[in-house]
Amino acid sequence: MRRNFLCVYNAASLRDDAYVKTLADLFASIKQQVEAAVARGEPLEQTRKSVSLVEFRNQLAGESRVRKALFANYVAYPAIAAAYGEATAKR
Domain ranges, ordered by start, for the chain: 21-89
Q: Above pLDDT 90, what percent of the chain?
A: 76
Each residue's pLDDT tens digit, 51-74 = 999 999 999 999 999 999 999 999
Give the model's confidence band at 18: pLDDT under 50 very low, under 70 low, under 90 confident, else very high.
confident
Q: What is the mean pLDDT of the chain?
A: 89
The pLDDT of residue 3: 58
For the chain, the three-class secondary structure string (H helix, E strand, C coil) is CCCCCECCCCCCCECCCHHHHHHHHHHHHHHHHHHHHHHCCCCHHHHHHHCCCHHHHHHHHCCCHHHHHHHHHHHHHHHHHHHHHHHHHCC
Please give the Cα distance from 21 to 37 (Å, whole number). 24
pTM, full prediction = 0.84
